[in-house]
A and B are shown apart, each in its own frame.
Chain A
Amino acid sequence: MSSNTKKWFSLNLNNKKPIQNKSCGCGKTSGGCESHNNLDAATKKDGFDQVFDVKMSRRTAFKQLAASLAIGAGAVSTSCSVIAGDDSKEKAQIDWEEQFKGNYKLMTDDEKKATVDRLVRSYQLRTGKTLNMSSKNAEENVLFGYAFNISKCQGYMDCVTACVEENNQDRNSQMEYIRIHEMKDGKGFNFNEADDNYYHEVPAEGHFYMGTQCFHCDNPPCVDVCPVQATWREDDGLVVVDYDWCVGCRYCMAACPYDGRRFNWSKPEVPEDEVNKNQHYLGNRLRKKGVMEKCTFCVQRSRAGKNPACVEACPTGARIFGNLLDPDSTIRWVLENKKVFRLKEDLGTEPKFWYFMD
């Protein structure tokens, strides 16, 4: 984003151009209503895209290198192995190409499709089962946002369970993207005294509940710090990770003020019959050890027009998800009619996750 369309706080370093007053129909100077979006769309390619374009030539060069290496390796393995079956050769070929593929963010649509096809084929070769993996890009005029009704949440944690099942999280380490904080009435939002690991009947007397997860910040600190651009903000606002590009340095984890990221400390395991086979490359496909992962607002569902699993699973209706650029969406209604707030707004991260009360 260019500096005058930034929504978050940044110092005006003696800019000659006065910052435009971007008031519009929605009555706010910021936020994701359509009139702001038009402004954004009108701006020319920004620095980010320029960097992106430069990288393309390098990428092509590397691609050719990788391809020739792959062909060489394929030839070697074919000529050298007499007993290896076609399947294992194909598997080796796929593994090789996967090891030396590029960053998903910089791939063309064809390359994205190719890697998805390889991953599907690889899974088929290993388990004999087919899965459905998407590489769907962000749609235009979509910016996802989320709202959480503190008055309604009763702490049932159905969202947590649904999330784990939907997103194929490691069962051994009980990885969970969502944390539900149980807070005492009359203490305000006191996270210090809250319990995010309770095992008792809910709703507990004298308590209220508040859920946290990745807030998909518009100005995400985790993205800036990644040394290899393995995590980025998609055009529809989702902050995603390329699991195959991540080197596992965990700098993003240190940079996240919202505890939104999880690391695969050991090889993640999901029982074969529990694997959700409806996957997205950037979402719930099976991860490997030593890489970062996080909530993607269920990219495999949200880009297919569905609600994330946590929203669908919530029995109280405390969770609201939708397109911030659609003036008729429920999320827009909430933002316009409720007193909403966000956590740690002073950090300038601009989360797209709002809290409100009835």
Chain B
Amino acid sequence: MTNSPFTPGIVPARLDAATLAENFADLHAPLDDHEALVAADRCYFCHDAPCITACPTSIDIPLFIRQIATGTPEAAARTIFDQNILGGMCARVCPTETLCEEACVREAAEGKPVEIGRLQRYATDTLMAAGVHPFTRAAPTGKRVAVVGAGPAGLACAHRLAMKGHDVDLYDAKEKGGGLNEYGIASYKAVGGFAQAELDWLLQIGGIALHTGKALGRDLALDGLRAEYDAVFLGMGLAGVNALRAEGEERAGVQDAVGFIAELRQASDLAALPVGRNVVVIGGGMTAIDAAVQSKLLGAESVTVLYRRGRDAMPASRYEQDLAASKGVRFVFNAMPVAILGNGAVTGVRVEYTRSEGRSLVGTGETFDIPADQVLKAIGQTLEGAPGGLVIAGGKIAVTGAGRTTLAGVWAGGDCAAGGEDLTVTAVAEGRDAAEDIHATLMA
């Protein structure tokens, strides 16, 4: 080991391989059989359960937990996949603390919800480990659908369409399918190449041809797709990144957090990944948290998350904030960067405190400097290269109902579509529902 957390600059191998392996291991160990039974037994099997309502994909949670409790996790998995074909990934990445587990009556009763996320993982892992794909295709309809984007929305849409008997061409701009599951989730939430394994498992249904390296606007045109296919689903996510608009943003060492995370996810050797000694992450969403925690786990001496509003306004949940804090990440609230300092490479961030004035934030005039040799920007992604002819609302593709765009025969869902939270599970729901609507439309 040549470097340490105290080595200046952006360098690799701040920690030895064993420590890195430990740092990037599974965040939550899978439940073993007995733990799963004990956790499942805590479910009250509520009537019209609040957890189902809280789940964007409306998984019948009490039923799948009862199926685990009675020793049939495979049936539990089927219950989950019926609603959410990416139930395995959602079990790992869903902010359950603000969804099903927040709604759990045991959270209300004693502050300790049933561990729905971990139970869901137990069930889905069991079935996937058995190599079973529990769905078969309906009789061929002869209809062909193009799905653009092999992320959560596109995969959910493609799978449901294939199930209904349609033939699907699934396009993705990147080299691998999976979208943010493959490129955008913190490593310790999806260890062991899970995103790729889940993709392979999902494609076992058949009838889905995956074409990677095909970007809309570069290799594909919406008009062409509309002409060639019976329907088109757009789920290509948000490829653009917002600019900081602070002086010095172009300095070496300033990087988009999404790129940093993607690089880390694709790295075969964590020790080869460079990271700064003092890292400043700007933003308050999950991307900011994931980038900050992973910087720390790679061996940065200090990691600071800068968020322009107060803690309560932070999009990342309190659970995620606490997770980051437990790894040693420092939060600075009500503060915004006004300049990236340095002479060539970044040496620090000048920060100004903020206060709310009506609906807008203004600087208080009080500033301070944070030393930094790496700055990660996580201030939101934008829709890039939306095809002409689509109405855009609030920077995203406008949709009505189950993802219908303003163009006939074109549906959209996931992060690129307006409405809904930008969560994996929301994208799955939108993709699935669009598929049902496409099916109904094509078969009418």
**A and B held together in a complex:** no
Interface residues of A (CB under 8 A from B): none
Interface residues of B (CB under 8 A from A): none
